[in-house]
Every structure is written in C-alpha cells, then in structure tokens.
Amino acid sequence: MEKMPFRDAEGVMDVTAVINAARATTNETNWRQALPVLTGSMVTLRELRLSDAPSLLAMLATEEVARFISPPPTTVEGFERFIAWTHRERAAGNYVCFGIVPHGMDTAIGIFQIRQLEPGFGTAEWGFAMGSSFWGTGAFIDGAKMVVDFAFDVVGTHRLEARAAVANGRGNGALRKVGAIQEGILRKSFLRNGEYLDQTLWTILDEDWRRAKSVWGPRIH
C-alpha cells in the first residue's frame, strides 16, 4: 500500500457509485455516511477531523515514516486537503480512512486506509502509517485487528491486499505479524525518490482471518 496514501481525488467514475449502491447492504451503506468509532485496548479508530492536520503533519511528514510510502503533504493545509478528500471518498463509497487516536489523546497520530480494488470492495487494499514515537508500542496491532475486522465484517471484503517495499523492514514485519501471507514480489513497482523499488504483495483472506480469530478469541478489548 505504498502508493495509496495521499492520492488526489480525481477520476471517480459515477458507474462505480451506482454499482456500489446496488450491491450495498444496510450495514455496508452506513459507513458511507459516517465511519463508526472502533475502540481497542490501546487506541480508538475514528474518522479524521480537520483538527488532526497539525498532529498528522508532525507524525507522518518525517523522513523515517515517509521513507517507503507516497510522499505525505508537507503543510497543515496540505493535510487539511487530504482529510477533506478522505471524507469525500468515503461518502462516494470508494475508500475508508481511520485516524488512530491513542487512549488519553484527542488527535490522530496515524492512519489506516482501505481502498477498493474492484467495485464493491470484494478485493481491497489497506495501508497504514503512524508517528515513529508510537512504533513498537502495540498500537499498530491493536488498530490493525479492528481495521481488518471492519473490512471483512462491515465493508464486505473477502481478499485484503497490502504492498510494502521489500526494504521496509517494519512494514513487512507488521504485516507478517498480523497474519498476512506473502504472495510474491512485485518487481520495480513503486517509484520513490526517483528509484523503482520492489514490493512484497501480502494478502489476508476473510476465511483465514476468521479461522485465526477463533484461535485468538473474540475481538481484543
């Protein structure tokens, strides 16, 4: 999901919205109106707010966070435009972006994103980034489990893909840890700083996730 963050909002086809609307169940349509608040043991996931822009700038627009992802905005205004775009794309039914808010804080320190790779989200792609001061704290796995549940149980995804630059040790480690399966290498598939990088393609299937959950037990709280 190296390429997903911070894209512009061009090129949404009306036909996609029509197909989505036709396929949607009651459950699936609700998230298009507003994302639910998901509460974990360490973090809350909620819709981004414009007031998250300064925090997201401080957390995500750093060299170590942005090294292997599409370049984040470089100003508060740029993040405000990104946040407004996430709301429009969610309302259009194309995309979901949760802000990660650690318990005891008010603002987002990172994001989880899901975008459809086909109309109706049957195959979707997710991605994530957090401020480096929160790496290794358990915030990622806490949020990741809720986002994957949301994709499979609410959005209706059956195959969830992620792409991580092969050189991105933490990104690949995080995906392995959450139970994703490495399907292959996408050679020279991601342009970053003028260089084409190889990416690992990771996937989680809904049936595998549900089987693994029966071992983990119910959603962690």
Ligand X SMILES: CC(C)(COP(=O)(O)OP(=O)(O)OC[C@H]1O[C@@H](n2cnc3c(N)ncnc32)[C@H](O)[C@@H]1OP(=O)(O)O)[C@@H](O)C(=O)NCCC(=O)NCCS
Residues at the interface with ligand X (CB under 6 A) = 1-2, 65, 68-69, 127-130, 135-136, 140-141, 162, 164, 168-171, 173-174, 177
Residue whose CB is less far from ligand X, 73 or 171: 171
Report in angstroms how near the CB of residue 93 gets to ligand X at its nearest.
Answer: 24
β pairing state of 159-165 and 123-130: parallel
Could you say which DSSP state residue 148 is in?
A: H
For the record, the structure tokens of 31 come out as 């998230």
Which residue number, 183 or 207, has a Cβ lying nearer to ligand X?
183
Q: Tell the smallest beta-carbon distance from residue 189 to ligand X (Å).
A: 13
Q: Give dist(CA 176, CA 219) in Å, integer.
A: 19
Please, which residues have CB within 8 angstroms of residue 152's CB and are 6 or more apart in sequence?
Answer: 158, 160, 206, 209, 210
Least Å distance between CB 221 and ligand X?
A: 18
Contacts of 83 (CB under 8 A, 6+ apart): 48, 49, 50, 52, 53, 56
- Compare residues 35 and 130 and give the one whose CB is closer to ligand X: 130
Choice between 57 and 174, CB closer to ligand X: 174
Q: How far is the CB of 215 from ligand X (least distance, A)?
A: 17
